[in-house]
Amino acid sequence: MGLEQKLPEGILTTNLEKLVNWGRQNSTWPLLFGLACCAIEMIATGTARHDIARYGSELFRASPRQADLMIVSGRVSNKMAPVVKRLYDQMLEPKWVIAMGICASAGGPFNNYAIIQGVDKVIPVDVYVPGCPPRPEALLYALDKLREKQGRETFALYQRNALADAMVGPEGIETLDTLRAQEAVR
């Protein structure tokens, strides 16, 4: 437009938010972290045929301090939940979470004593991917969805801590039973 025509070649104008979002969208580094069956499909996504490098996400970081994205790939057991939570806490802002597969999204076929019914009971989730396990293409689609979400983020609205806090109920844990008990009292 007007200004850019007057500038020398090779100079673009944009606003800082868009520039930062562009950078984040194209270099979202996942945490090198696999739980169950879905982790195998996650590895398959990383290899040559599906090539997650097209998204700038091929660099799976083993340290949560260097990762932007946690792909929860598999069922989360009662014993694993504190570990998942701690890893999420150790990741630096900004950070995103993909719940890969039905187990991480809602417990899947494992509705029993051992498995937590969805990782969103422990950490906030940005994108849910259905499937058991999702195909690599589905995971790549989830990355697309995540990029859309990253592109919409603004500095003013970007308060993930506040969002995460808002997800925690006043009593910490709310279950169906406690809610029904409250209903009964009312």
Which residues contribute to the site for another protein (CB under 8 A)? 32-37, 39-41, 43-44, 47-49, 62, 64, 74-75, 77-87, 107, 109-117, 120-122, 132-133, 135, 167-169, 172-176, 179-180, 183
* Residue type (1 letter), 153: E
Task: Name which of 94 and 131 has its Cβ closer to another protein.
Answer: 131
Asked if residue 76 lies in contact with residue 116, where contact means CB atoms within 8 angstroms, the answer is yes
DSSP single-letter state for residue 16: H
Min. distance of Cβ 34 from another protein in angstroms?
7
Residue 25 or 72 with smaller CB distance to another protein = 72
Nearer of residues 72 and 147 to another protein, judged by Cβ: 72
Question: In the bound complex, what is the minimum distance in angstroms from residue 139's beta carbon to another protein?
Answer: 12
Sign of the torsion angle spanned by Cα atoms 78, 79, 85, 87: negative
At its nearest, how many Å lie between another protein and the CB of residue 20?
A: 28
Burial class (CB in 10 A: 0-12, 13-18, 19+), 69: buried
Pairing state between β 69-73 and 96-100: parallel
